[in-house]
Amino acid sequence: MLWLSEILLQNHDLDSFDALVAVLENHARNGEIFFRMDVKPPFSDTPDNWEERLEAVFSTTRNIP
């Protein structure tokens, strides 16, 4: 199980929502199956619909062979 808080702790150098999306895509491509959002990303560019956007990125990316 991949938790958003784990991503943020392991990648403390992230500085934007887009950078977070890139890391999440990488995890999805590398075989992660489950993703949970337990914290809100702390970036100034985090959109209001951040949960939907992260779920969509993870779900569509992990289906790519």
- Residue 28 makes CB contacts below 8 A (sequence gap 6+) with 35, 57, 58, 61, 62
Q: Using CA of residue 58, residue 52, residue 19, residue 41, what is the dihedral sign?
A: negative
Model pTM score: 0.91
At 64 the three-state DSSP class reads coil
User: Does 22 score more than 80 pLDDT?
Assistant: yes
Q: Does pLDDT of 44 surpass 90?
A: yes
Cα atoms in the Cβ-side hemisphere of radius 13 Å centred on 9: 7
Binned at pLDDT 50, 70 and 90, residue 62 comes out as confident
Q: Indicate the number of domains in the chain.
A: 1
pLDDT at 6 over 90: yes
Please state the rounded mean pLDDT for residues 32-54: 97
Q: Rounded to the nearest 5°, which phi and psi values hold at 41?
A: -60, 135
| Residue-range definition of the domain harbouring residue 26 | 2-61
